[in-house]
Structure 1
Amino acid sequence: MTVIDIPGSKSVTARALFLAAAAEGTTTLLRPLVSDDTEGFAEGLAALGYAVRREPGAWHVEGRPAGPGTAEADVYCRDGATTARFLPALAAAGRGTFRFDASAQMRRRPLGPLTTALRELGVDLRHGGKEGHHPLSVHADGVRGGALTLDAGQSSQYLTALLMLGPLTAEGLAVTVTDLVSEPYVEITLAMMRSFGAEVTREDDERGRTYRVAPTGYRARTYAIEPDASTASYFFAAAALGPGRSVTVPGLGTGALQGDLAFVDVLRRMGADVEVTDGATTVRSTGTLRGLTVNMRDISDTMPTLAALAPFADGPVRIEDVANTRVKECDRLDACADNLRRLGVPVTTGPDWIEIRPGTPAGPVEIATHGDHRIVMSFAVTALRTPGITFDDPGCVKKTFPDFHRVFGGFGTFGAFARTP
Structure 2
Amino acid sequence: MSTRKSSARPRPSTWPRRKKPTRSRPTIRSGCGSGSGASSRRISRSSTRPEDGPRAVRVALFTNNYVPFCGGVTTSVETLRRGLETRGHEAWVFAPRFRAGAADGPRVVRYPSIPAATYPEFALAVPFAPAISRRVRRLDVDVFHAHHPFLLGPAARRLARRQRRPLVFTYHTRYDKYAHYVPFRRSLVEDVAVRLSTRFAAGADAVIAPSRVIRDELLGRGVSAPIAVVPTGVDLTRFRPGDAAAARWELGLDPRDVVVLYVGRLDREKSVDRILLAFERVAGTVPRARLVVVGDGTQGDELRRRAGRSAISERVTFLGVRPHDTLPICYQAADLFVFASETETQGLVLAEAAACGLPAVAVAGPGCDEVVRDGETGVLTKGDPGGLAEAVIGVLLDAERRALMGTRAREVAEREFDMRLQVDRTLAVYEIARSRVAGHPR
Q: TM-score of the superposition, structure 1-length normalised?
A: 0.33
RCO higher in structure (CA 8 A, sep ≥6): 2
